[in-house]
Amino acid sequence: MGILEKMRLDNRTAFVTGGARGIGKSIAAALAECGANVAIADIDGQEASATAAELETLGVKAVAVETDVTSPESVEAMMRQMVDIFGGLDIAFCNAGICLNVKASEQTFEEWKKVIDVNLHGVFLTAQAAGRQMIKQGRGGSIINTASMSAHIVNSPQPQCAYNASKAAVIQLTKSLAVEWAEYNIRVNSISPGYIGTELTLNSPALKPLIEEWNRCSPVHRMGRPDELQAIAVYLAGDASSFTTGSDFIIDGAFTCV
Ligand SMILES: NC(=O)c1ccc[n+]([C@@H]2O[C@H](COP(=O)([O-])OP(=O)(O)OC[C@H]3O[C@@H](n4cnc5c(N)ncnc54)[C@H](O)[C@@H]3O)[C@@H](O)[C@H]2O)c1
């Protein structure tokens, strides 16, 4: 099979958490463009429906499933609904995440737990649901988790200790699952984006004023776009990456190099 053929995802099925907008939406669109049917699993059901409708114009099946990744019941219900509609699961993109910019000395325990709940527990619950389904099916699969360059460096000047800790944990969780599920041919990898222009960064009152400073510090002097993460996700989702598991991919315009 040629390399371009290996990038095709025809008749595969995927779910994308946090897929209603931003990075998740862009990667859901890439998976759909390569032929995969996609479930948009997002806490914002309305935006998820709009995104699913957009994806259908690419000629694949797309559904919105309102899901809270911090709730085991909600994640299980999403998985059941997905399997009922599409008949199985081949690709899971566990991507939903939030960031709170609070100084460690002033952070409440509730704030700390909120970030860990979405970014770490959410990735565990969705990856676990995907892994269980893939083990049951017995035909392998690919799980991709969204970590961050914040797993590798401490962002500055904004404080975000819970976010940074949660993303470092996502990488070690990814490696752990990759080792446990290698025998089932389930590959588990993570991506670590640098600053990407999405709602999370462009529309955050705490972060928006810092963009100029980030760009000054970046060797490429700009933020990335969500579509600049599409190729790595397509590569990891399909057969082109058959020997790639337990790895993290930093896509950051060399931000973490300096
Ligand atoms: N934008 C960046 O600069 C950047 C950089 C590195 C990593 N990331 C990570 O990429 C991922 C996506 O970020 P983004 O920039 O696209 O953010 P975004 O805020 O634009 O999108 C996040 C999506 O997740 C959904 N979501 C939030 N909580 C949820 C929950 N409990 N259950 C289900 N869905 C939920 C939101 O409704 C939203 O649609 C996050 O994990 C984020 O930490 C982003």
pTM score, two decimals? Answer: 0.98
Query: Is 196 close to ligand 1, i.e. is its CB under 6 Å away?
Result: yes
Whole-Å CA distances, 33 to 37, 58, 86, 241: 10, 6, 17, 18
For residue range 38-55, list pLDDT tens digits in order. 999 999 999 999 999 999
For residue range 20-41, list pLDDT tens digits in order. 999 999 999 999 999 999 999 9
pLDDT of residue 206: 85
Query: Is 28 close to ligand 1, i.e. is its CB under 6 Å away?
Result: no
Q: Which residue among 26, 142, 148, 241 is the active-site one?
A: 148
Residue 225 in contact with residue 196, Cβ under 8 Å?
yes
For residue range 141-172, list pLDDT tens digits in order. 999 999 999 999 999 999 999 999 999 999 99
Query: Is 253 close to ligand 1, i.e. is its CB under 6 Å away?
Result: no
Query: Is 22 close to ligand 1, i.e. is its CB under 6 Å away?
Result: yes
CB atoms within 10 A of CB 238: 23
For residue range 215-246, list pLDDT tens digits in order. 999 999 999 999 999 999 999 999 999 999 99
Sign (positive or negative) of CA dihedral 194, 200, 203, 208:
negative
Query: Is 44 close to ligand 1, i.e. is its CB under 6 Å away?
Result: yes
For residue range 53-87, list pLDDT tens digits in order. 999 999 999 999 999 999 999 999 999 999 999 99
* Both structure tokens of 166: 């949660």
What is the share, in percent, of the chain residues with pLDDT greater than 70? 100
Q: Which residue among 26, 167, 190, 235 is the active-site one?
A: 167
Q: Which residue, judged by its Cα, is nearest atom 19 of ligand 1?
A: 200
Q: Which residue, judged by its Cα, is nearest atom 7 of ligand 1?
A: 148
Residue 252 in contact with residue 194, Cβ under 8 Å?
yes
For residue range 93-127, list pLDDT tens digits in order. 999 999 999 999 999 999 999 999 999 999 999 99
Q: Which of 134, 236, 225 is nearest to 191 (CA)?
A: 236
CATH number of 9-196+226-247: 3.40.50.720
Q: Residue 5: pLDDT band by 50, 70, 90 thresholds? A: very high
184 is catalytic: no
What does the domain layout of the chain look like in residue ranges?
9-196+226-247
**Hey, is 99 helix, strand or coil?**
coil
156 is catalytic: no
235 is catalytic: no
Query: Is 148 close to ligand 1, i.e. is its CB under 6 Å away?
Result: yes
Average pLDDT, whole number, for the chain? 97
Ligand 1 atom nearest to CA at 195? 3
**Backbone angle region of 87, left / alpha / beta, with phi > 0 → left and psi within -120 to 50 → alpha:** left
pLDDT of residue 142: 99
